[in-house]
Amino acid sequence: MKINKLAPTFLLLLTTALVIAACKKEDEEGDKSSFDKKALLTNLSENMILPAVNQYNEDVNTLLVDFQDFEQNTTAQQLEIVQESWKQAYLSWQTVKIFDFGPIRDIGMKGATATYPIDTSQVNDNVQSGSYNLASLSNVDAIGLSTVDYLLHRQGALDSLQNNAKVVDYTADVIGKLVDESNTITTEWSSYQSTFNNSTGTSSTSAFSKLINEYNRDFELAKTAKVGVPLGKQSLDVPLPNYVEARYGDLSFDLLRASLVALKKVYNGQSFETGNDGVGMDDYLVHLEENDLDNMIDSGFQEMIDKTDEFSMTLEDALENDTQRMNELYNMLQGQVVHIKTDMTSAFGVLITYQDNDGD
């Protein structure tokens, strides 16, 4: 058997493959433009992540300053100003928390900023004793924006802040920790940005894979923690109001809405500040000829946001009094998870784990 005798056979097979490819191509509309993941990452870090991180940093720093003003001037009016800046910070956090990798993951910021429900007795113990290490694992349920929520909005909050210096100190410390962490990631992100932009590989450690995996995780978190658990989805349909996020300040629906809006904007590659469209996951899907999926995901987000707007009461009240609508919302979230975590992730060819893999 000679190699040159085999050449025609190979040429024939190669031609067959190309003919099939060509036939397939004719079915499609127009020519495919190429797609660059680097453009997606660059757009995202420049126009979404860094502005969001800066906004959050500005907001927590404002919260700190406003609280320091309150310490000088403990009036109900000044407390309202503090509450308002807490609200702004918590809302900006909804975008930042999507990006739980790189600098944010390094300092464990996602868990430290908004873990709920908080352990109120732990908070009260800390306040009483006046000696605590807020960075310790045992205090993970006694810190963050959710703890600030409790300290600023609980019944008799103004009274205790006016008359108990220990409460004021604790609140200042919790806010101070938020500010420190926020300052850290703001600095770190500006140096991490170029690493992020260039890490377009397919291994699970590439920034692109982490982005997609953490994006999925954050959406699931919105589904499970913001809606599912309070609604009783993990407790035999018994609603659990103490699992409502930011329940003292009644901000839960706003946070859910902000989280969905942030996820939608990231998906579409929109600018954090202007909302202008840039290269996003949607464009990648369109490039992969997954237009139907893109439409489903985009409209899915809008439907969920609209659904959230329909409620005319707090989430805590809706658990008991608007159960049907809550369930509808939950089912929408559940359906969307399948689209982004299964369909989108599989279209991108992103790996979830870093084990060896032979594709089965």
Any residues with CB less than 8 A from the CB of 331 and at least 6 apart, and which? Answer: none
Q: Which is nearer to another protein, 102 or 228 (CB)?
A: 228
| Closest by Cα among 334, 280, 350, 288 to 48 | 280
Q: Is 233 in the site for another protein (CB under 8 A)?
A: yes
Residue 243 has, within 13 A of its CA and on its CB side, a CA count of: 17
- CA dist., res. 233 & res. 224, Å (int): 8
CA–CA distance, 52 with 258 (Å, rounded to integer): 12
Residue number with CB closer to another protein (105 or 339): 339
Binding residues among 299-328 for another protein as defined by CB under 8 A = none
Toward another protein, which CB reaches closer, 204 or 271? 204
Closest CA to 258 of 308, 316, 313: 308
Neighbours of 132 (CB within 10 A): 18
Q: Which of 11, 32, 106, 165 binds another protein (CB under 8 A)?
A: 32
Rounded Cα gap, residues 161 and 317, in angstroms: 27
Q: How far is the CB of 178 from another protein (least distance, A)?
A: 26
Q: CB–CB of 114/244 below 8 Å? A: no
Candidate residues 88, 120, 200, 271; the one interacting with another protein per rule CB under 8 A: 200
Q: Is 39 in the site for another protein (CB under 8 A)?
A: no
Helix (H, G, I), strand (E, B) or coil at 118: coil
Looking at 234, 274, 291, 295, which residue binds another protein (CB under 8 A)?
A: 234
Q: Is 122 in the site for another protein (CB under 8 A)?
A: no
Buried-state track 82-98, b at ≥16 Cβ within 10 A, e below 16: bbebbbbbbbbbbbbbb
CB of 241 to another protein, least distance (A): 8
Q: What is the CA radius of gyration of the chain?
A: 24
Q: Is there binding between residue 232 and another protein (CB under 8 A)?
A: yes
Q: Output 13 or 313, the one with its CB closest to another protein.
A: 13
Residue 116 or 272: the one with the smaller Cβ distance to another protein is 116
User: What are the phi and psi torsion angles at 207 (to 5°)?
Assistant: -60, -35
Q: Work out how close the CB of 38 gets to another protein at its nearest, in angstroms, rounded to a whole number.
A: 6
Whether the link from the prior residue into 239 is cis, omega within 30° of 0, is: no
- Residue 25 as a binder of another protein (CB under 8 A): the answer is yes
280 is a site residue for another protein (CB under 8 A):
no
For residue 136, give the amino acid letter: S
Q: In the numeric block, which tokens belong to residue 111?
A: 């868990």
Q: Is 235 in the site for another protein (CB under 8 A)?
A: yes
Q: Which of 85/216 has CB closer to another protein?
A: 216
Q: Which one of the spans 168-176, 256-264, 309-317, 331-339 is the region binding another protein (CB under 8 A)?
A: 331-339
Site string for another protein, 162-181 (x = CB under 8 A): --------------------
| Kind plus residue range of the DSSP H or E element containing 311 | none
Among 7, 11, 16, 121, contact with another protein (rule: CB under 8 A): 16
State the Cα–Cα distance between residues 172 and 118, nearest whole angstrom. Answer: 17
27/312 with CB nearer another protein: 27
Give residues 281-300 in contact with another protein (rule: CB under 8 A).
288, 292-293
Q: Which residues bind another protein (CB under 8 A)?
A: 1-3, 6, 10, 13-14, 16-18, 20-22, 24-25, 32, 34-38, 200-203, 224, 228, 232-240, 288, 292-293, 334, 337-339, 341-343, 345-360
